[in-house]
Amino acid sequence: MNIKTILASAALAMTAATGALAEKTKVGFVYVGPVGDGGWTYEHDQGRKAVVEAFGDKVETMYVESVPEGPDSERVMTNMALKGADLIFTTSFGYMDPTINVAAKFPNVKFEHATGYKQADNVSVYSARFYEGRAVQGHIAGQMTKSNIIGYIGSFPIPEVIRGINSAYIHAKAVNPDVQFKIVWAYTWFDPTKEADAAKVLIEQGADVVLQHTDSTAPQAAAQAAGNVITFGQASDMAAYGPMPRVSSIIDDWAPYYIARTKAVMDGTWTSTSTWDGIGAGMVGIGEISSAVPADIKASAVALRDSLADGSYHAFTGPLNKQDGSTWLAAGETASDYGDGGLAGMNFYLEGIEGDVPN
Amino acid sequence: MLRLEKRPNPSKTWAYMAPVLAVFATMIGGGIMFAALGKDPFEAIRTIFYDPLFSEFAWYYRPQLLVKGAPLIMIAIGLSMGFRAGIWNIGAEGQYIIGAICGAGVALAVYPAQSAFIFPAMIFFGALGGFFWAMIPAVLKTKFGTNEILVSLMLVYVAEQLLASMSLGLLKNPEGFGFPGSRNLQQYASAHNAELWTGTGIHMGVMFAFISVIFAYVLLARHQMGFHIRLTGESPKAAKFAGVNPKRLVVYCLGFSGALAGLAGMFEVSGPSGQISIDFNVGYGFTAIIVAFLGRLHPIGILLAGLLMALTYIGGEIAQSSLGLPSAAIQAFQGMLLFFLLALDMLTNFKLKLASAGSPP
């Protein structure tokens, strides 16, 4: 008997046991940050709570927070599967290979991995088109800046983050040709100290708009302390910092997806899928644009949001050149998701952004 | 009133009792904290300390304790040598990273060739990488008298930047769609530090951890080098008269701890982790400092302390998922362990005395 059969039969026995008891569907969540981060993990946990609310007694959820991306996450997932989880959401890119490993040992447990690209019979992937939100953000930021310097706190130079920078940049540039981006890499998803330092450095360099791709509210607090600097909520609304410095936000709304996938497991209709939804499907939300933004800018931002939502406009529409001046998209052409030069693997800056993608 | 009186000699009894009492005090203190969080304290303590060892799924957790504890033990063994002699290598985390990069680098350089020599070469270069990274503070200290604490610590941040650069550049998986991170060595048979017994997860690194414990024990008890280390720690003056060369000792101690940390990193990257990624390191190099002191800088003590630390990690995860305890509570719980240990350690060197009213304070 090998490990696969032992684990599988253990899991099966557990599922059978729980099934006999109350027919509860067990759903596990693996979080990369603390649930109180006010950003990325907070929104995933809101999704979990929505699942509990939607199904009441029929579900039981469990979660482990601040799980390092690596072998530790593999153990946490195994632990959940052994405890009889039917469905496990692993909510960070770094959980990709561990998710695939554990899924191979528990063929009867369904896995959902956020922001990755490796699928299996019992592993789905899902992500949101955050770059659509970045377009609206850049549109507002480009018009609000007086110093024409926009600061950007990057987490890791992975395609998802680079897409966000590019999208924000081209939409800021479209409304303000003099705009300049200063990018600082924090190499963390959640570290209030580092994020605050990064924000302060950017503000000292003259940035009066600070965009962030990290999850804490520390940059908001730094901007508030500096005064006259605007920010946007990241992953979560961060409304506590409105109307200034937080003038709007990109909100991740995982609740509808988590509810749908849990329902699919209950109904036995779950299949391995790849989901990449944006503003239109409601996975990405634009938070209330605050009173600090003039009415005309607000109106055009809302119009941009709506055109992204109904699909009449794509956030990456040509003509667009890469940083080195070579053509990426011809006039009128829109970016494809996959393949050469596709959005999924975007690892280059667009023309006009200074500096190099860290390499 | 209670007052402290210095003992003429450190108490042997208290040296052994302090860790045990610290664990009990942590259970009580932790229990109160869990109760304050609205959880059943007995259930929480049972989940953390008992479930990983004796519950229904203990067959999975028991070997996992060894897997989680192995890098901690291996690094702590190396550190304890220097700590005994008053040589403070705080940068094991960096040496761990460099060991992993060098070990994985060797494998990725020859990918996809299959050969029985690849894994031994990875072990060699992993140790060598950690050794050289530790040589930087060693040479700077012996040649220029710099402080090894600062230099080794700062080199952790340099190593982290190097790790990020490797994951995004040189060692990036060419088939990874532009995402950072190397190829997964688990899918490269010659380089895979595979589990030795199916289903346990126990890999070669666990064996090396045990070997390092035995090696350190013999070195300290039987070898002249071990004698020099102990002597320098206990009485630097006597060590000088005994002809101990302090510079050579710095090089030996830092080199030894660096090589062990490098080995730990190489076994981790080729086994449980599988790939070089930006956040490959999770703080083993720093936690090992706690393990070294929790284990009284003694090889057997470190072995037990490493396993205890692994137990609080694994038990803590179980408590999180099944009882809904926040991870911060688990970290506070681990912090209590160190706090109580340090507090009770006082009693090794001091006696508690009831001061009578008349006597001077």
Rounded Cα–Cα distance for residues A35 and B85 (Å):
43
N residues, chain A:
359
Q: Where are the domains of chain B?
A: 77-310
Contact flag B275-A97 (C-beta cutoff 8 Å): yes
Between B254 and B239, name the one with better pLDDT: B254
Looking at chain A, the whole-number percentage of residues with pLDDT higher than 90 is: 79
Whether A37 and A216 have beta carbons less than 8 Å apart is answered as yes
Give residues 118 to 137 of B whose Cβ lies within 8 Å of A. none
Select from B178, B275, B277 the Cβ nearest to the Cβ of A347: B178
CATH no., domain A3-128: 3.40.50.2300
pLDDT by residue (tens digit) across B141-195?
Answer: 999 999 999 999 999 999 999 999 998 889 988 887 667 889 999 889 888 998 8
ipTM: 0.85
Least confident range from A4-13, A197-206, A295-304, B314-323: namely: A4-13
Q: What is the predicted pLDDT for the residue at B144? A: 94
Whether B150 and B89 have beta carbons less than 8 Å apart is answered as no
Looking at beta carbons, which residues of chain A come within 8 Å of B168? 157, 358-359
Q: What is the predicted pLDDT for the residue at A17? A: 46
Query: SS3 string of chain A?
Result: CCHHHHHHHHHHHHHHHHHHHCCCEEEEEECCCCCCCCCHHHHHHHHHHHHHHHHHHHEEEEEECCCCCCHHHHHHHHHHHHCCCCEEEECCHHHHHHHHHHHHHCCCCEEEEECCCCCECCEEEEEECHHHHHHHHHHHHHHHCCCCEEEEEECCCCHHHHHHHHHHHHHHHHHCCCCEEEEEECCCCCCHHHHHHHHHHHHHCCCCEEEECCCCCHHHHHHHHHCCCEEEEEECCCHHHCCCCEEEEEEECCHHHHHHHHHHHHHCCCCCCEEEECCCCCCEEEECCCCCCCHHHHHHHHHHHHHHHCCCCCCCECCEEECCCCEEECCCCECCCCCCCCCCCCCCCECCCCCCCCC
pTM here is 0.86
CATH topology identical between A3-128 and A131-252+285-329: yes
Query: SS3 string of B218-234?
Result: HHHHHCHHHHHHHHHHH
| Residue (of B171, B174, B185) closest to B278 by Cα position | B171
Q: What is the predicted pLDDT for the residue at A20? A: 43
Least confident range from A124-138, A222-236, B183-197: namely: B183-197
Q: What is the predicted pLDDT for the residue at B178? A: 67
Q: What is the predicted pLDDT for the residue at B358? A: 52
Q: How far is A89 from chain B (nearest CA, A)?
A: 13
Question: B9 pLDDT band (50/70/90 cuts)?
Answer: confident
Whether A351 and A321 have beta carbons less than 8 Å apart is answered as yes
Q: What is the predicted pLDDT for the residue at A293? A: 95
Between B14 and A109, name the one with better pLDDT: A109
| Residue (of A139, A130, A208) closest to A173 by Cα position | A139
Average pLDDT, chain A: 91
| Residue (of A69, A59, A121) closest to A90 by Cα position | A69
pLDDT by residue (tens digit) across A145-193?
Answer: 999 999 999 988 888 899 999 999 999 999 999 999 999 998 888 889 9
Class in CATH terms, A131-252+285-329:
alpha beta
Is the minimum CB–CB distance between A239 and chain B shorter than 8 Å?
Answer: no
Q: Where are the domains of chain A?
A: 3-128, 131-252+285-329
Question: B355 pLDDT band (50/70/90 cuts)?
Answer: low
